[in-house]
Every structure is written in structure tokens, then in C-alpha cells.
Amino acid sequence: MTANDFFQVGLFVAVLLATVKPLGQYMALVFADEPNRVNRFGTRAERLLYRLAGIRADEDMGWKRYALVMLAFNVAGLAFVYVIQRTQQWLPLNPQHFGAVEPGLAMNTAISFTSNTNWQAYGGESTMSYFTQAVALAVQNFLSAATGIAVLIALVRGFVRRGASAVGNFWVDMTRATLYVLLPLSLVVALLLVSQGVVQNVSAYLDVATVQHGTQTLPMGPAASQIAIKMLGTNGGGFFNANSAHPFENPTPFSNFIEMLSIFVIPAALCYTFGSMVGDRRQGWAILATMLLIFLPLAVGLVAAEQAGNPALHGLAVDAQASAMQSGGNMEGKETRFGIVSSGLFAAITTAASCGAVNAMHDSFTPLGGLVPMWLMQLGEVIFGGVGSGLYGMLAFAVVAVFIAGLMVGRTPEYLGKKIEAHEMKMASLAVLIPCALVVIGTAVAVMSPAGVAGVANPGAHGFSEMLYAVSSAANNNGSAFGGLSANTPFWNVLLGICMFLARFPLAIAMLAMAGSLAAKRHVPPSAGTLPTHTPLFVALLACVVIVVGALTFLPALALGPIAEQLMSVTGH
């Protein structure tokens, strides 16, 4: 790696850490049970919305009712997105006169955007009308992100409350996440993107003359507003098919930096929010330190692998060294305006954070460079992860970690003053194992099915990586595409749709069940046998648990894909 590579990675981390405390404290005030100077600001708007929707904002819901309302609301959202796609030919804001989206693709897309995955088996500029993009997809970007935050806040209340039978009000948490967090941040990010040249209009596509005397069609549309929430909500669905590699979505290095920062800013700050709400900010910093401890080596390793170039070319007379005249390394599939480090760092961020936006073709990365984003997803999307979902996934791992530590010393494990017993362990185990099972079973089904193999563009180990990546992306609600896979087929639309749905809602329900159990427990005062969960020792233990689960589950599959491809490249095959 070059000094410039290290500088760009270091600058990103420094700016990110500078935002953690102010945004985290702000969100702690937003979701506080007591009125304060922040959540009092929009009281009138909140009351109006509750009155119009017939919602009782003072209702304190038990975990079962919270889960039922959450599930019903999202299923209704899924149906809404499906219907809009199927009827877009009769709806306004369709200057290109796009027809109805075919049923299988429409269902896959509806599940994708409802589950905060945003896997795209379609080309945005050739399939979706402006109305579908703005009313169905962008709105769902807000709601799915707010759902993740709401479930997290309910879980945090489980740790905070003592002897309680309720975990909060889903409608209030959803409304506050949208009104106070997602909408203001999206407005700021959208304006910054527009200042860099991202398009925001409802004009028809433009036909312009090229310098070669031909004609090129330039797509237009309300892109900036959707891209802002696609990044902040860790949604990832691109307005255009090329996603953030498209010059109208991500035109400059500064817009690229803003988009990368937007992906991590809420998941990182929620760690501070968690610490503040449980009354011990050190707990939040410990979780954030664990995330960085895993993320940074993998991100640096990805950039180093790309900077080192294709091992198959090392024996040839190819100059792949970085110099003042060239970037060196592997530039295949990357935008020249971003280069290797901004492409590699973007890939690590978007797969660590369950975002799924891409600014480079992951299919063109070196084998080891492609392994990193794949494994970041397979770790369960808890290294920052999706907004809300990443942190509640990491808290499930924390419960497993304190349980293992309790077994070592022969004591009943405790976390944040609550005893961890059989029910909590069952729920945490479900949260950890469901995505793993979906990836392994889903990939096996695809490999054994002629319809699954038919979608692969490349034979051998690389083709296996394409299938493994696609299922890993869907089963962890990431949504990024490796490329090289023809995913708009009945087989892949059904398989990935099932994976996306099961990876989202059963986990959220398990976390709410844990929240209800924890809220009913009494507080246990710390004693000499209590494991401190804010120390470097616990950070190391938690990181080891996450890595060991990911390594034990997926090492055999990775050996058949990117590791085998790397060995073949080194030996010249």
C-alpha cells in the first residue's frame, strides 16, 4: 500500500469518529422515554401524525404486540411496493412509459426494499418509473431503516427497564427515527450530493450528440434524494443500474467520501446512543472498538490486495507498481476518478455496514480482494451493520460472549446488570445462526440446481464465488452484487427473496423476544465475579467470538471459491 492509501483510510476513520459523540448523544435524546429539548421540538408534528393515523402514542407495548405491529406494518409496505411496480404504467411521473414490472421481479424487489436489503435484479433507469422510484422505493428506504432503529431501541429498553412488561411503542419509535434522524440527515446529504453534480429532476431522458457523431441517451430523475437515504439508511439500492459507479450518482471524489461517511455515520453513532441509554457510555465505546478492531484490518487487507495487482500477471512484463504516472495494482472494474483505495474502502464499508451500494465491480477484484467483502457479510453484518440491525446483531454476539465467559468461571453470566439465562441464549443463538444457515443451505441449493448454475457467467471457482456472494448478500440483508450472475430468473428471484425475508424478520422478532425477557428481570448488582464488559479484554473476547463463528461456518465454502481461485492465480492456472 502507498502512503496515500493509508492517509485516505485514516482520514475517513478520523472524520467518522468525530461524528460519533454528537450524533449519538442527539439520538439518545430523541429516543428517551422522558420529554427533553430534542424530542419536544417536533411534538406538534408528532401529535398530528398520530391523530391522523389513529395511533395511541401513550401505549406501552409488550414485546409480542411490538413484534406483531412491526411485522404487520412491514408486510403492508411489501404489498404497497409490489402493487406500485405492477401498476406503474398507469401512474404519473413515467415519461419513459415503462410497463409493469413482471410478477417475479416485482416480488423480489418488494421483499428486497422492505427487508432493507435492496438487492437489485433490475436496471433502475430501464425498469422503474420516477413514481416507482420516489413513492415506492425511496419511501421504503426510510421505513425499513426506521424499523431497524426501532427494534434496536426496544432491545436497549429491555436492558434499561427493571421488572417491566413493555418495551416501548413501535409507532413512536418509527416516527421519531424518521422525523428527527433520517429526514434531516437525508436533506443535508442530498444537498451536498446535488452540489457535486448528482441529478435531481423529473425530466425525460435526454438524447445528446457525441463527439463521434452518434447519439447517447442520458438518464435523468430524482436521484439525489434517493441516494441520500440509500446511504444513510444502509439500503444500497441504486437509482441507476451502475449504482454509485454511475457519474450521475457519484460524480466526484468528494461525493464518494460523503457517501462512504453516510453509510457508517448512524451505525457508529448508535453505539454511543446505546451506551448513553444504558447509563454507561463505556459499553458503547467497547462495542464500537470491537467493530473497528475487525473492520480496519480487513479494509486495509482488501486495499492491499487490490494495490498488489493480479497475481496471474506477476510473471509477465507488466508494470503494476504505483508511481506518479499510474495507480498500479488492479484497476479492472474500477472508476478512474476513485482509484484503488476509494474503491476498496468503499467495498469494505458497504459490505460491513449492510448497505450494498457499490462504486466498483466486485467481480473484477482480485480473489483475496473479493474474499474480504464476502466474509464481512458472512460475519452476520454486525461490523457496523445495518442501521439498528447491525447493533442488535452485535448485542446478540455480546450475549453469547458473556455466556461463554460465564461457562469458563462457573457463574451465571450477566450483561449490563441482567442475568443471561436459557431464553436469552436461545434468542441470541437464533440471531447468530439463522443467516449462517440461510447462506449455507441457499448456496447448496443453487449449486445443485441446473436453474441456479445456469445464471453463472464464469466456470469453476470464480463461478462458485458468484453464487456464494449472491446468497451471502441476500441472507445477510446486504444487497451488493458481485456481478457476473444473471439474477433476474424465476429461480434466483424466489431463492433470494426467501433468504431476504427470513434474514430480516425472524431475527428482529428474536431480538424483541429477548428485549421482553430482559425488561421483566430485576437488576443484579455487580460483584467480584462479574465480567466487566467495557474493558479491552471483553473487546478481544467479543471480536474472537464473531470471527470464530464466521470462520468455522464459512471457511470450507471460501476454500472452494476465492481461496481456490487465489491459489490457481499464483500457480498460473
pLDDT of residue 317: 74
pTM above 0.85, yes or no: yes
Nearest Cα residue to 350 out of 117, 511, 509, 169:
117
Q: Which residue has the cell 482509484?
A: 339
For residues 116, 121, 126, 128, the Cα torsion angle rounded to the nearest 10 degrees is -40
Query: Is the separation of the CB atoms in 231 and 251 below 8 Å?
Result: no
Let me know: does 348 contact 12? Beta carbons within 8 Å.
no
Q: CB pairs under 8 A, 24+ apart, for 321-330?
A: 322/2, 330/306, 330/364, 330/365, 330/366, 330/369
pLDDT at 5: 86
Give the cell for residue 466. 458468484
| Cα separation, 566 vs 134, whole angstroms | 42
Query: 410: Cβ–Cβ under 8 A, 6 or more apart, which residues?
Result: none
Instruction: List strand residue ranges (DSSP E) for 145-299, in order.
Output: 206-209, 215-218
| CA separation for the pair 128, 122 (Å, rounded) | 9
DSSP state of 222: B
Q: Give the span between the Cα atoms of 536 and 214, in whole angstroms.
A: 62
3-state helix, strand, coil in the chain (%, to 5): 65, 5, 30
Enter the C-alpha cell of residue 94. 413515467
Instruction: In whole angstroms, give the CA distance from residue 390 to residue 511.
Output: 12
Q: What is the C-alpha to C-alpha distance for residues 137 and 135, in angstroms, rounded to an integer? A: 6
Low-confidence ranges of the chain (pLDDT < 50): none
With H, G, I as helix, E, B as strand and everything else as coil, classify residue 437.
helix
All three cell numbers of 137 = 422505493
Cell 477484484 found at: 365
Q: Cβ distance 92 to 482 under 8 Å? A: no
Biggest CA–CA distance in the chain, Å, is: 80
Q: pLDDT tens for residues 335-371?
A: 988 999 999 999 999 999 989 899 999 999 999 999 9
DSSP 8-state class, residue 200: B
Q: Where are the beta strands (DSSP E) in 391-533?
A: 414-415, 418-419
β-pair partners for 414: 419
For the chain, how far is it from start to end, CA to CA, in angstroms? 26
Residue 564: predicted pLDDT = 94
344: nearest Cα among 324, 310, 325, 370? 370
* Spatial separation of the C-alpha atoms in residues 496 and 264, rounded to whole Å: 25
Residue 247 burial by Cβ neighbours in a 10 Å radius (0-12, 13-18, 19+): middle
Helix (H), strand (E) at residue 16:
helix 3-30
Among candidates 237, 114, 121, which has minimal Cα distance to 489? Answer: 121
Q: Helix, strand, or coil here: 66?
A: helix
